Structure 1
Amino acid sequence: MADLTAQDIRTRVESDWERIVGVLRDKIALQSISAQGITGEHMRRSAEFVAELMREVGVDAKVAQAHNPDGTPGAWEVIGSRIVDPDAPTVLLYAHHDVQPVPDPAEWDTDPFVATEIDTRLYGRGAADDGGGIAIHSGALKALGDDLKVNIKVFIEGEEEMGSPSFIPFIEEHREEFESDVIIVADSGNWSAEIPSLTTSLRGNTCVDVTVKALEHPVHSGQFGGPILDANTLAAMLIASMYDANGDLAVPGVAAEEPIGGLQRDLDEASVRADAGVVDGYRMAGTGSLAARMWTKPSVTVIGFDAHPVEGSFNVIAPETTFRLSLRTAPNQRPEEAQDALAAFLVSNAPFGAQVRVDKLENGMGWAMDPNAEATKDAMEAMEEAFGVAPVNKGEGGSIPFIPELQRIFPEAQVLVTGPEDPKANAHSPNESLSLPGLKSNVVTEALLLDKLAR
């Protein structure tokens, strides 16, 4: 067939639909929880399942075990390729086959490891994150079949939910199997099940531990309270000093950005409040668009705090305390730079001259797409043809550190971040689900995109 149309692709996806949904059902049942051991037999079985799935759609796929930076065995990864023409563009398809744990199955309305269809959604752990990504790649390659005009490489990772510790060593060992012109990362999502999106940016992340000390030892709060503040109060003052009166983070040297490629549609505050379970009366902090505040401006969260529990508390002034801050950085700022600025601010703003020590922890770079790249324009066209509506691009407030690492190692490649999720997906949470109509449109989108990239 010379020129495939959206209808041609849609017809092929319809005829393959039961198989595509079956892929998801089988994948959910595998219980590929990397937190139970990335080197485990259950993870090897999951990788073998995905490799066979890729072979069924023409990819010469295999399972390979990665190695951690210290040389110890790492994740079970799936790599492979399908070369149709040495002169054609090469596209790397990424997804991950590991899933989040289910701490309490009682919080689910269905069995988390039995795919359950309710209305137009399929429920199960890993349905959206990232079984949907695997299903998209499988469905798109099957739909194109012998009409595929680009070379394909695949990398289906086995430890994304664990922070990808063996990711870099694995790429360095298999560099030639990753080199490509375009990289499609199917691990994000759409504006809604009906409105497609490219993910335009990801915030970076950096963490610090902050210790605030006022005394060499505990003392009685009645005898010394007043001129001597407890370490927890001093820590609270220090934390509060990072913000201005509007609730914007105001730490010199920590950058803020506006949405990458411009803001097409702001987030709906009522929806955000409902999705996050915000209590009545709480006023959203910060200024500017809600989208910028959640996608491209920095944010700090206290994710740990050492303080005596209420139960068993008694009348002493706490001499010192430690808390951990997670700073989400603007997409284009180096996290080390933001971390240094945050540390300097905290030390220089010690309340009442208390001793403040900052221990710098891990960093992850953010990422911003190139809105003017040819691949970006092709993806936008494909989305509109497949979904029947114009895409509304969006950023992500979270971090996926391997994407900027891919971009760093392969600077010439154009990276596109797509995916099967939507606001109702509940990835990482109870009742994770995937919109089946949305998945179908995503499969059509990727097949159309691969066809366009051949040009």
Structure 2
Amino acid sequence: MNARDPNLPLQADEASSLGQFAAQVWDEEIVPALTEYIAIPAKSPMFDADWAAHGHIESVLRNAASWVESKKVAGLKLEVIRIPDRTPVIFFEVPATKADCQDTVLLYGHLDKQPEFSGWRSDLGPWTPKYEDGKLYGRGGADDGYAIYASLTAIMALDRQGIPRPRCVGIIETCEESGSYDLPAYIDMLKERLGNVSLVVCLDSGAGDYDRLWLTTSLRGNVTGTLKVEVLTEGIHSGDNSGVAPSSFRIMRQLLDRLEDAKTGRLLPADFHCEIPTDRIAQAQTTADILGAEVYKRMPWACGADGGPVLPVTTEPLEVLLNRTWRPTLSVTGVDGMPPISNAGNVLRPFTAFKLSLRLPPLIDGNEAALKLKALLEDDAPYNAKVSFVPDGRAGAYGATGWNTPDLQPWLTKAVAEASMTHFGTEIGYIGQGGTIPLMGMLQKGFPKAQMMVCGVLGPKSNAHGPNEFLHVPYGKRLTAAVAQVMAAHP
């Protein structure tokens, strides 16, 4: 057991050493490991139905597990857990070095990736890693293949200096980008082994800028699925038949009009909205004051009609933040049934299919929303067309529920504030995120008294899921040290 008094606050030289150690491991080991990771197209099951046969998820999982085991952390146990017909998870545990500590810190990340997408810079690509100006480009490094490596580095940084810490366990899944529909079965299986989880560290989130530690205060839920409208069994001449057979695209427009105001983007059904807590509005205002117009100017706007950039929905920073974190929004992320323009003849198409992504406020139940969305779109179809909405995921997990963080206990409020000042030299920031991490809602139910440190490296222009995704390595180094410092402050 460590001789250092666990009740002593972290000294300046100890905190500095945490940062130095994290930076060294990142430079010497994490960046090379992530370079190899990015090169492997380990797409999530939703985007690679033959993931098991292709073996890419298995490769990244085995590489990460081997790296962890090679560190020879005292008492570390790691296993790859598999349930038939489900994606595997890595589970590791490291015993406490703090005397008489009965609590557990749970560290979370994932290794599966989004698909390629188009528009990458000519010298970049989703599976061709490139390290340039402190940024590691490629799919998945920031979202969030780095998490398992940073988590273990934070543990090693403390142990190297003999700084006591609680027991730590890690869950690294491979189904997050598909909605984590496999994860609940593993959480149920591991619940007894997880122990008394009093702090969750999730490294799958984002940052408002790269100048401070950002703590995520909320996450939106999400429903994804395919809306298909069928009117014909085959394509027919549009000159002979338009005006007789209804356009599947026109019917699609009518269906979407049930859901969204096309002029404003506001979602129409009240069931998809919730009241925004006053404390979240106040935090969003503080964040708006910090970031200002950068909350929308950072986006890669196209050139608009007058030669200037396309305009955002609103230029009021507070409203921008609330729109992307606490209000429902609809996106069409894919289309079937439409030939490319270069091959589009004068044919009335038999069907149109849209991939929909409905982001939900943090307090709306994802599964209930999925069922309500299905009924809204399918009932009373125009022209008696065949309309189907098929949510992604599995039965009972059609939609992902969002999350609103519980109030921070005084020790955590102090710890994250000190970690930000120590490793970033700036006061901490609090920000809601528009993305979804299904695990957080699950853990909130399973461990209602646990504190949540949700953070990540997805800052300005890092562009997760899109082209030119990058991991801001200097931020990753400081975040790793900050996590270590918070774990050291765990009472």
Helix, strand or coil for the counterpart of 1:341? helix
AA paired with 2:287? R
Over 3 Å counting, the alpha-carbon distance change for 1:217 and 1:354 in structure 2 is same
Instruction: Quote the residue 1:192 is aligned against.
Output: 209
Over 3 Å counting, the alpha-carbon distance change for 1:300 and 1:49 in structure 2 is same
Over 3 Å counting, the alpha-carbon distance change for 1:103 and 1:444 in structure 2 is same
Q: C-alpha displacement at 1:334, in angstroms?
A: 0.5
**In 1: Cα distance, 2:119 partner to 2:247 partner:** 41
**Matching residue within 157, 166, 170 for 1:143:** 157
Instruction: Quote the residue 1:382 is aligned against.
Output: 418
**In 2: Cα distance, 1:428 partner to 1:209 partner:** 19
Q: C-alpha displacement at 1:372, in angstroms?
A: 4.1
Q: C-alpha displacement at 1:329, in angstroms?
A: 0.9
**In 2: Cα distance, 1:134 partner to 1:283 partner:** 39
Instruction: Quote the residue 2:42 is aligned against.
Output: 34
Q: Determine whether 1:265 maps to 2:287.
A: yes
Over 3 Å counting, the alpha-carbon distance change for 1:324 and 1:94 in structure 2 is closer
Q: Determine whether 1:130 maps to 2:144.
A: yes
Q: C-alpha displacement at 1:182, in angstroms?
A: 1.1
AA paired with 1:93? L
Instruction: Quote the residue 2:82 is aligned against.
Output: 66
**In 1: Cα distance, 2:251 partner to 2:11 partner:** 64
Instruction: Quote the residue 2:484 is aligned against.
Output: 447
Instruction: Quote the residue 1:49 is aligned against.
Output: 67
**Matching residue within 310, 322, 332 for 2:363:** 332
Q: C-alpha displacement at 1:64, in angstroms?
A: 2.0
Q: C-alpha displacement at 1:290, in angstroms?
A: 0.7
Q: C-alpha displacement at 1:66, in angstroms?
A: 1.9
Would you say the 8 A contact 1:27–1:131 is kept in 2? no
Instruction: Quote the residue 2:51 is aligned against.
Output: none
Helix, strand or coil for the counterpart of 1:275? coil
Instruction: Quote the residue 1:275 is aligned against.
Output: 299
Q: Determine whether 1:299 maps to 2:329.
A: yes
**In 2: Cα distance, 1:290 partner to 1:405 partner:** 28
Helix, strand or coil for the counterpart of 1:80? strand
Helix, strand or coil for the counterpart of 2:154? helix
- What do the CA deviations read for 1:272-325 (whole angstroms, capped 9, x no partner)? 354343442544337970111112211112233343424554555445534332
Over 3 Å counting, the alpha-carbon distance change for 1:424 and 1:61 in structure 2 is farther
Instruction: Quote the residue 1:412 is aligned against.
Output: 449
Q: C-alpha displacement at 1:417, in angstroms?
A: 0.8
- What do the CA deviations read for 1:374-404 (whole angstroms, capped 9, x no partner)? 4652454234333222222122212122222
Over 3 Å counting, the alpha-carbon distance change for 1:214 and 1:125 in structure 2 is closer
Segment of structure 1 superposing worse, 409-418 or 325-334: 409-418
Would you say the 8 A contact 1:427–1:433 is kept in 2? yes
Q: C-alpha displacement at 1:225, in angstroms?
A: 4.0
RMSD across aligned C-alpha pairs, in angstroms? 3.5
Instruction: Quote the residue 2:439 is aligned against.
Output: 402
AA paired with 2:70? E
TM-score (norm 1): 0.84
Q: Determine whether 1:18 maps to 2:36.
A: no
Q: C-alpha displacement at 1:268, in angstroms?
A: 5.0
Q: Determine whether 1:289 maps to 2:319.
A: yes
Q: Determine whether 1:92 maps to 2:106.
A: yes
**In 1: Cα distance, 2:56 partner to 2:191 partner:** 22
**In 2: Cα distance, 1:99 partner to 1:237 partner:** 34
**In 1: Cα distance, 2:235 partner to 2:106 partner:** 59
Instruction: Quote the residue 2:254 is aligned against.
Output: 237
Instruction: Quote the residue 1:371 is aligned against.
Output: 407
- What do the CA deviations read for 1:112-144 (whole angstroms, capped 9, x no partner)? 778765334444554423344334323322332
Over 3 Å counting, the alpha-carbon distance change for 1:163 and 1:61 in structure 2 is farther
**Matching residue within 75, 88, 109 for 1:75:** 88
Segment of structure 1 superposing worse, 157-166 or 444-453: 157-166
**In 2: Cα distance, 1:452 partner to 1:99 partner:** 33
For structure 2, the 5+ residue unaligned runs are 44-53, 393-397
Instruction: Quote the residue 1:205 is aligned against.
Output: 222
**Matching residue within 150, 153, 156 for 2:172:** 156
Matched-pair identity in %: 26
- What do the CA deviations read for 1:237-288 (whole angstroms, capped 9, x no partner)? 3324433342312123211454773312236556635434344254433797
Helix, strand or coil for the counterpart of 2:429? coil
Q: C-alpha displacement at 1:369, in angstroms?
A: 0.8
Helix, strand or coil for the counterpart of 2:453? strand
Over 3 Å counting, the alpha-carbon distance change for 1:213 and 1:252 in structure 2 is farther
AA paired with 1:339? A
Over 3 Å counting, the alpha-carbon distance change for 1:100 and 1:343 in structure 2 is closer
Over 3 Å counting, the alpha-carbon distance change for 1:63 and 1:338 in structure 2 is same
Would you say the 8 A contact 2:267–2:329 is kept in 1? yes
**In 1: Cα distance, 2:347 partner to 2:465 partner:** 40
**In 2: Cα distance, 1:24 partner to 1:231 partner:** 50
Over 3 Å counting, the alpha-carbon distance change for 1:108 and 1:37 in structure 2 is farther
Would you say the 8 A contact 2:18–2:484 is kept in 1? no
- What do the CA deviations read for 1:176-202 (whole angstroms, capped 9, x no partner)? 232311111112232111122111111
TM-score (norm 2): 0.78
- What do the CA deviations read for 1:43-95 (whole angstroms, capped 9, x no partner)? 32331212333x33x4513122321xxx2464251411222334443211223
Instruction: Quote the residue 2:49 is aligned against.
Output: none
Would you say the 8 A contact 1:207–1:327 is kept in 2? yes
- What do the CA deviations read for 1:395-441 (whole angstroms, capped 9, x no partner)? 22121222222323333322221123322434345544333432332
Helix, strand or coil for the counterpart of 2:272? coil
Would you say the 8 A contact 1:24–1:131 is kept in 2? no
Would you say the 8 A contact 2:295–2:320 is kept in 1? no
Over 3 Å counting, the alpha-carbon distance change for 1:279 and 1:399 in structure 2 is farther
**In 2: Cα distance, 1:72 partner to 1:228 partner:** 43
